[in-house]
């Protein structure tokens, strides 16, 4: 088994993406940015590549 997410418990090397819609950090709530979405480091890249 690879690295396991501390929030959802899924194996990060086997799962097909994050299922957590919001992130909570330092008392703030953020919408998760999907791969290739505006604001992502790889903006414009599809999630399947």
* Residue 25 forms part of a structural domain: yes
The model's confidence at residue 35, banded by pLDDT at 50, 70 and 90, is confident
* Residue 6 forms part of a structural domain: no
Residue 24 has pLDDT above 60, yes or no: yes
Cα–Cα dist 43/38, whole Å: 6
* Residue 38 forms part of a structural domain: yes
Cα–Cα dist 44/29, whole Å: 24
Nearest 5°: CA angle at 39, between 6 and 24?
Answer: 30
Say what the pTM is. 0.44
pLDDT of residue 28: 94
pLDDT of residue 26: 93
* Residue 5 forms part of a structural domain: no
pLDDT of residue 29: 93
């Amino acid at each position: 088994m690879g690295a396991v997410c501390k929030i959802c418990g899924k194996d990060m090397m086997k799962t097909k993406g994050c299922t957590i819609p919001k992130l909570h950090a330092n008392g703030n709530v953020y919408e998760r940015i999907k791969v290739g979405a505006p604001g992502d480091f790889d903006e414009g890249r599809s999630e399947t590549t």
